[in-house]
Structure 1
Amino acid sequence: MIKAICASSEKGTPKRPMKEATLKANWGIEGDAHAGTWHRQISLLSADTVDAFNRQGANVADGDFGENLLAYGLDFPCLPVGTALVCGDVVLRMTQIGKVCHSGCDIQKRMGKCIMPTEGAFARVLHGGILRPGMPIEAYTAQRVFILCASDKGYAGERKDESTPALHHLVTEEGYEVVGTALLPDDREQLSALMARICDSYTADLLLTTGGTGLSLRDVTPEATIDIAERMVPGLAELMRLRSLSVTARASLSRAVCATRKQTLIVNLPGSPKAAVENLQAILESLPHGLAILQGTQGECAVDSHI
């Protein structure tokens, strides 16, 4: 839970609590001196840690460490870089743990130490919104997955959707966290609208679609994906087809595509539970590295030096 949201109009001064703050994507808190297009847009500190420090006689107020967000229940230094923090509409991505203090602050001079260099963390704003004290904040250390099933018969209740639970079981075993599922008819506009909304709100890091990849005139999932895609990732789709050809020649009929929008990777999978699982298994090894690159938490060969 958020205890306090703090900001200051000038650098080098303590931040002061706000009743409400507007966070802007790829910027930070509106009006805060530390906002900008860099990797430390939001500074984070555990309220539990500050309370413990105050019990030693520090007597520091909210914002005195220069933190933007004070939250209970989250030990930020123990969370890995890349963790997604979700609070209302706001989504943050942690980019750094700790910092170097180049000059002793007033707290360090008074207490002999300052907790921000070791206990503080920093994040980028992926999706903006309004924050207020008292709002719950959740941390997702695993990559978040949303599963979207496209099926006229499934949507009409004429056929049970077995692909979604099969994929749910597989990704959960692989360490991913399923944050949502949906079932829609084979309607291009409905599918593309939901996919765009999931990506633009940073609801998930990986969006799996199942169904609608064949040659039926109602199979429109690839077209719906292309409609909202920003960049195509043809290698993943090619790898799925290549591996599937060893199982059945009908894999050559798949029109599945893979693409990105914002920092979400979209992967089209077949509607058959067995085929959906087999296709996803074909690319599982490549996904962690690809998602890390997409999110900016890892370079092509190594971790970026500024993170």
Structure 2
Amino acid sequence: MGKVLAVCTSAVRGVQKKDRGAALFVANHGLDGDAHAGDWHRQVSLLSADEIAAFNARGADVAPGAFGENLVVEGIDFRTLPVGTLLRCGEVLLEVTQIGKACHHHCAIFHKMGDCIMPREGIFTRVLEGGRIAVGDEMTVQPRDTPLPLQAAVITLSDRCAAGERQDESGPAVARRLQEAGYTILEQLVLPDGREGLTKALIRLADQRQPDLILTTGGTGFSPRDLTPEATLDAAERLAPGIAEAMRAASLRITPRAMLTRAVSVIRGRTLIINLPGSPKACTECMDVFLDQLPHAHALLRGERMDCAR
């Protein structure tokens, strides 16, 4: 159980928020009058009062809202909560949608201290049920009545698609197939071939948004720019080679050129990452191999099951 110490808003983005003492939280929108409210997954940001106090002990001297957070709460270690956690504060019900954030432009706090805690300690939520939150209100972590729906992200690797020279057909085909299988698509990206950009995207998605599955398409061949497997291995914490092996074995029954694919399958956190070929047809054929087996894999990664026996 935690206690709300500050309720902060700002009318424009990119500035520090001010403690208003109380605010109205609107379902599927966010805080009334706050610049970050809207139809997206980062409607309300939260930060632990303990983390702010520890940062101030280093000489930061920051007030509530200085990091752009909406709610400052003591007694809950937000960084340990997985995506999908529910937070109840009176009438308001929040769902955690992202852990931490990328810092693209260093703020004044970073320039002063050489550090900022919001990118690694802050969390983001959407408002499921609206109401009013005021300083002094209690907040609790509420158990979910049903499991979080399966969530996925799709990344297309193609220099020409990223440059707008060719339409991406594989990414949308993969996303449609996942939606038909019951997944919610969190993000669908098109990136140039190469290593660094994909590695950063995989780490961001797996660590911050924590989808059950990330499927990449493209960049698995022998061309110099085909570096999807290397980028995926850079982001990996554990290997899951059986999936890639099964795809190659099945594809070899269709074409002998399947032996030339270098696709890998790995795990980061609770996220399974699988490389697919570049063509829509080959993507569909490969997804036929593993898609039915993934619910069991996701249950194991989520900790909902502890064995693989039939």
TM-score with structure 1 length normalisation? 0.61
Residues 259-298 of structure 1: pairs in structure 2 closer than 5 A: 259-298=266-305
- 1:179 positional shift: 1.1
Q: Could you tell me whether the CA contact under 8 Å between 1:202 and 1:263 is conserved in 2?
A: no
Report the counterpart of residue 164 of structure 1 in structure 2.
171
Report the counterpart of residue 129 of structure 1 in structure 2.
122
Report the counterpart of residue 22 of structure 1 in structure 2.
47
Whichever residue aligns with residue 282 of structure 1, its letter is V
- 1:250 positional shift: 1.1
Report the counterpart of residue 174 of structure 1 in structure 2.
181
Residues 72-83 of structure 1: pairs in structure 2 closer than 5 A: 72=93
Out of 81, 92, 115, the position equivalent to 1:71 is: 92
SS in 2 for 1:157: coil
SS in 2 for 1:244: helix
Q: Is 2:53 aligned against 1:32?
A: no
SS in 2 for 1:235: helix
Deviations 1:165-200 (A, max 9, x none): 111111111111111111111121111111111111
Q: Could you tell me whether the CA contact under 8 Å between 1:86 and 1:137 is conserved in 2?
A: no
Label 1:296 to 1:272 Cα distance change in 2 as closer, same or farther (>3 A).
same
Report the counterpart of residue 247 of structure 1 in structure 2.
254
Rounded Cα–Cα distance in structure 1 between residues aligned with 2:233 and 2:159: 20
Report the counterpart of residue 114 of structure 2 in structure 1.
none
Whichever residue aligns with residue 122 of structure 2, its letter is G
User: Structure 1: which 5+ runs fail to align?
Assistant: 1-5, 8-15, 48-61, 63-69, 75-84, 92-126, 303-307
Report the counterpart of residue 245 of structure 2 in structure 1.
238
TM-score with structure 2 length normalisation? 0.60
Residues 114-263 of structure 1: pairs in structure 2 closer than 5 A: 128-130=121-123, 136-137=127-128, 141-263=148-270
- 1:301 positional shift: 4.4
SS in 2 for 1:284: helix
Whichever residue aligns with residue 200 of structure 1, its letter is D
User: Structure 2: which 5+ runs fail to align?
Assistant: 8-45, 52-71, 102-119, 130-143
RMSD, matched Cα: 3.4
Rounded Cα–Cα distance in structure 2 between residues aligned with 1:262 and 1:269: 20
Q: Could you tell me whether the CA contact under 8 Å between 2:162 and 2:192 is conserved in 1?
A: yes
Whichever residue aligns with residue 71 of structure 1, its letter is V
SS in 2 for 1:260: strand
SS in 1 for 2:219: coil
Aligned residue pairs total 214
- 1:71 positional shift: 2.7
Label 1:166 to 1:30 Cα distance change in 2 as closer, same or farther (>3 A).
same
Residues 76-115 of structure 1: pairs in structure 2 closer than 5 A: 85-87=95-97, 89=99
- 1:33 positional shift: 7.6
Label 1:299 to 1:183 Cα distance change in 2 as closer, same or farther (>3 A).
same
Find runs of 4+ consecutive structure 1 residues off by over 6 angstroms. Answer: 33-39
- 1:248 positional shift: 1.1
Q: Could you tell me whether the CA contact under 8 Å between 1:202 and 1:264 is conserved in 2?
A: no
Rounded Cα–Cα distance in structure 2 between residues aligned with 1:87 and 1:176: 16
Deviations 1:77-132 (A, max 9, x none): xxxxxxxx4356479xxxxxxxxxxxxxxxxxxxxxxxxxxxxxxxxxxx852579
- 1:17 positional shift: 4.0
Rounded Cα–Cα distance in structure 2 between residues aligned with 1:38 and 1:86: 8
Whichever residue aligns with residue 214 of structure 2, its letter is L
Identity over aligned residues, as a percent? 41
SS in 1 for 2:288: helix
